[in-house]
Structure 1
Amino acid sequence: MAAAPARAEQNHAPSDALFGQVLANVTAAQSLDIIAEIDHSRLAADVGEEMPPSRVLIFSDPALDAALMVVDPRIGLDLPLRILAYETSPGGESKLLFSDAAYLEHRYGATFPQELRDRYKAGIDTALAGIAPGDATALAAEGLDGDGLITLDSPHGFDETLRRLREVVSAQDDTVWFGEVDFDERARAAGVAIEPAQLLLYGGPGPGGRAMANAPSLGLDAFCQKVLVLQDKEGKVRVIMNDLLALAERHEVGKSLPLRVINRRIQKTFADALEN
C-alpha cells in the first residue's frame, strides 16, 4: 500500500530540487522576504485529487512592490514576485516558470523606467542563482485575452469590504487561507506612500487540483486564487481578481470544465458578498 505515495514522492523529486534551490536563494537574500509556499500537487493529493508536481514560492521586495503600484495599483494582483517549479508534462521535464516585467507592462498598459525593470529582474535573478539557464523560463508576455481582470465596485469602505471578503472565503469548507499582503503598510516601511491596498491569497485544493490536472503551469498565477482590494484618493473601493479563463489563454491550456466552474464561483461569491 505504500508504493503509490513512494512513487508520487519520486515524481516530485526533480521539481522539489529546483524549488529547494529557489527557496534557499530567497531565504538568504536580505532584500527579499517569503510570503507563502504553496505545494499545489501535495495539497490536492491530501484531498484525493491527482495532478502533476506544481509548487510555487511567493516572495517580496517591498520597495519594488510599492514602486510598481505607484505606476498602477492594479499591478498588486500580480505581486509579490512568484516562481513556480512544475512538471511540464506527465513524467516529463521539471522546470521553473516566472513572469517578467515585460508581462506587467503588457497586461497593465504601462511603461516602467529602466531602473524599475532592472530591480524586478534583480529579484528574479537572485531567486534563480545557481539554476541552469535552460531550467527557468519567463512565461510569454503576450497571449492574454484582454487584460484578464475582473473588477467589482464595492459600496462599502475599505475595512468593511475586507471583512466581507474574508468572511465569505472562510465560510467555504473546501478553502484554505495562504496569506495576506498589506501593500500600503509594507510600502510605508519602505518609505513610499500608496493608497490602501491589500491582497488576499486563498484556494481550494480539491477544485484547484482538478483544474490543474492537465495544466500545472496555472499554479504560477491562476492558483492560488488572489483578490486585490484597492481604495483610491476619493475613497472609492474596488475589488480586482483574475479571469481564470483569460489566464488559461496566456498559458495555452484548455478552458476545462473545473476551471470554468471555479471562475463562475469566485465571481458570484464576491459579488454576492459585496451586495448582501
Structure 2
Amino acid sequence: MNATLEWQDQREELAPASEEIRSALRRVVTSTAFARAPRMCALLSFLMEKKLGGVDGGLTEYAIGMQLFRRDPVVYDTTIDPVVRVQVGRLRTRLAAYYGALKEVGTLQICIPAGSYMPVLRRLAPDVPKTVIERMELAPLRCLSLDERNGAFAGGLDEELGSRMFARFPAMLQVREPNIIGIGNRATGLQLRLEGSVRIEQAFVRASVRLVDMAAGHTVWTTQCDSSGVLGIALQEELANTICDKLADHLRSRTNTA
C-alpha cells in the first residue's frame, strides 16, 4: 500500500528515540533521491543534529547562514541574501517527493513545515482507499498585472506551485493544461481543477486560488494567500508552500466527509 503524505495529520509530531531518528536520516541521505544533492544532505544533517541537540525553537535563519553556509558576519543580511530560505525550501520539496514515492507505511518521516527551519518527525500514513481519490487538474496561474517584472514573478510562482503539487499530490494530480476556460472534460476522469490568479503591488503579493468541481461546474473551495518581501525565489516558495498546505487541509476534510 503506497504512502501518501497529503492525507496525513500534519499537526502531531512524534518523539522517537534518537537512534531511530539517525537511521531515518541515514536512509534519506543515502537514497537515490539525494545521491546527487550533497548540499541538501549537508543541510538536512545540520538541521537534524540541531534538533537532536535540543536546539529546536532557537534555530534562526541567520544562525544557519553563519554556521552552515559560512556567511561573512560583517556583511551578511538575511533580507538581501536569501540562501537559507531558498535552500530550505528546496529541501522541503525534495523530502516531500522522497517520502511520496515510498511504499512503507509506518516509516518515520522527516519533514520541514512551511515557515519553519526545524524538522519535525511523523509516521507515514496509509493511502486513502482508491474509491475516494479524486483526479485533479492544475491550471496555470493568471497574472493580473501588466508589469513585465511582475509577470516574471507570477510565472516563477506558477512553476514553483506546479513542482510542489506534483511532489505532494502524486496520486491525484494528472495533467497540467493550458489555461483554457471551460476545459472540464468528463472523459479524462478528472473531477477537480485548481486555478487562480496573482496580484502584485510593489512588494505585496496576493495569490487567490480556487478548487472547481468540473462535473458540477462550481467552486467548492477558495483561499487567498498574502505575502510581502523581495519578489524572488524565496517568496515564490513561501506562497507555493502555503497554498499546498491549505489545499491539503481542505482535501483531508473533503475525504473525511465523503
- Tell me the TM-score range normalised by the shorter chain: under 0.3
Q: Which has the higher helix share?
A: 1
Normalization by structure 2: what TM-score? 0.26
Larger Rg: 2
TM-score (norm 1): 0.25
